[in-house]
């Protein structure tokens, strides 16, 4: 069986798990590709990418603190072929790719190192502190793009080991204040040297290094911290995701505009990937769901629950729901050889708005009308008044004794005293005290 027919999507999570998902027309199959025994503390998967153009090898980066490591997973052999420790810089690995026969990693502190597994390993570049993303060009393997918090977009030539482009920030705003920079994701347009960036401050910008340093397209989406971007199969269009669960399709042709908004997402979007052969986009978010949307119809086609918070995702470029065949039995036979300690889970595709269980539950509920509400409230008030009177005056309620108000007693007492004084004065000539 061809290794490309096994799994369509590979995801990583905060707890360190690595799963493969086969999306079928009727049901989805998910498989833990990493043994739970090998997952330890501080094993969060921070980033992952394809290691070759044939999409056979996957590069995975682990760890967020002092100990960081890189693993290589072979999708044909269905096993991890090698693992090594990344002991350079500080912070997590926020970018990983294959360059020639070596592995390129980008650390949060800015160090970009080429791992050749010999004495020639060296830090070849420094992209600046607070580096959040590194991406490789799809037409020129010698060019990479980097960016982060107060670390603008930069392009580097790996062969010459020098910086070839640095962005210039946009002019000050209407209050004459500097516009902050916080790049969260970067993408190269298909078959082009143009670069798209998204920012935690809601900026979508398109750069042309051959034209100018400032962005040629600048779109601002207010109150939306953008976290992910991917380039679909359509020309001059990108799909963006935010930390509030918003996903939009952006047209980068001048002057730039929002084409569509997609529904059904909850939680911060952590990963976006699009197919090269069909109008499909796959997303992962912190609500632990993987979703597949149709770009043109804006319909959510698939929704898979993956039991853990997701941090990254990898999609095969030839993914298409129209050509999917439910070959879950073949996937089971293929993976039962090397992964006996893990279980394959079959998940039926149920969309949130078409969930039969919820529909049945809501149909059984009693409908509350305004008349029912009024009568019910009146009954409750009478019941509460009766119970309160029994609690406050239990003896009086049983014997039905009516007590006179205190002011009435005082008046009667004064009247009796005045009558007594009158009688005493008539007899003795003195007033009674």
pLDDT in tens, 401-420: 444 444 444 445 555 555 65
Calculate ∠ Cα 152-259-273, nearest 5°: 60
How far CA 249 is from CA of 30, 341, 361, in Å, comes to 28, 41, 35
For residue 140, is pLDDT > 80? yes
CA distance 403 to 128: 87
- For the segment 29-44, what is each residue's pLDDT rounded down to a tens digit? 888 898 877 777 778 9
- For the segment 45-92, what is each residue's pLDDT rounded down to a tens digit? 999 999 998 899 999 999 887 789 999 999 988 889 999 998 888 999
- The DSSP symbol for 180 reads P
Contact at 8 Å (CB) between 72 and 49?
Answer: no
Q: Which two tokens stand for residue 128?
A: 């600046």
Contact at 8 Å (CB) between 32 and 21?
Answer: no
pLDDT for 200 equals 95
For residue 355, is pLDDT > 90? no
- The DSSP symbol for 322 reads G
- For the segment 277-301, what is each residue's pLDDT rounded down to a tens digit? 889 999 999 999 999 999 999 999 9
Tracing tokens 């992910």 back to the chain, one arrives at 228
For residue 427, is pLDDT > 70? no
Contact at 8 Å (CB) between 166 and 154?
Answer: yes
Contact at 8 Å (CB) between 320 and 275?
Answer: yes
pLDDT for 28 equals 85
**What pTM value is reported for the model?**
0.74
CA distance 91 to 131: 10
């Amino acid at each position: 069986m061809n290794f490309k027919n096994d799994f369509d999507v590979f995801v990583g999570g905060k707890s360190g798990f690595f799963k493969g998902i086969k999306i079928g027309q009727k049901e989805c199959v998910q498989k833990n590709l990493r043994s739970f025994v090998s997952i330890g503390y501080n094993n969060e998967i921070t980033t992952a990418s394809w290691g070759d153009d044939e999409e056979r090898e996957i590069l995975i980066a682990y760890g967020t603190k002092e100990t960081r490591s890189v693993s290589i997973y072979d999708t044909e052999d269905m096993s991890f072929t090698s693992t090594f420790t990344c002991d350079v810089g500080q912070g997590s690995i926020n970018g990983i790719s294959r360059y020639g026969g070596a592995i390129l990693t980008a650390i949060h502190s800015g160090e970009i190192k080429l791992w050749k597994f010999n004495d020639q390993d060296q830090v070849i570049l420094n992209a600046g502190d607070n580096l959040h993303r590194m991406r490789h060009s799809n037409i020129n393997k010698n060019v990479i793009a980097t960016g982060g918090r107060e670390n603008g977009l930069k392009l580097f030539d790996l062969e010459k080991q020098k910086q070839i482009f640095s962005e210039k920030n946009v002019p000050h705003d209407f209050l004459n204040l500097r516009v902050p920079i916080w790049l969260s994701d970067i993408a190269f347009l298909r078959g082009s040297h143009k670069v798209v960036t998204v920012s935690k401050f809601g900026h979508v910008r398109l750069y042309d290094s051959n034209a100018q340093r400032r962005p040629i397209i600048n779109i601002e989406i207010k109150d939306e911290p953008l976290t992910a971007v991917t380039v679909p199969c359509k020309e001059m269009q990108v799909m963006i995701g935010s930390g509030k669960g918003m996903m939009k399709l952006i047209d980068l042709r001048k002057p730039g505009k929002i084409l569509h908004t997609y529904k059904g997402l909850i939680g911060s979007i952590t990963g976006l990937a699009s197919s090269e052969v069909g109008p499909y986009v796959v997303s992962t978010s912190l609500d632990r769901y993987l979703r597949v949307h149709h770009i043109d119809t804006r319909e959510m086609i698939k929704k898979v629950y993956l039991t853990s918070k997701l941090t990254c995702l990898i999609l095969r470029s030839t993914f298409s729901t129209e050509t999917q065949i439910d070959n879950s039995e073949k996937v089971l036979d293929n993976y039962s050889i090397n992964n006996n300690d893990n279980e394959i889970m079959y998940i039926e595709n149920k969309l949130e708005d078409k969930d039969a269980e919820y529909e049945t539950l809501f149909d059984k509920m009693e409908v509350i009308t305004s008349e029912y509400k009024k009568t019910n409230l009146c009954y409750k008030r009478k019941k509460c008044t009766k119970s309160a009177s029994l609690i406050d005056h239990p003896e009086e309620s049983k014997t039905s004794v009516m007590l006179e108000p205190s002011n009435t007693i005082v008046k009667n007492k004064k009247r009796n005293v005045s009558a007594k004084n009158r009688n005493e004065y008539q007899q003795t000539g003195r007033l009674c005290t």
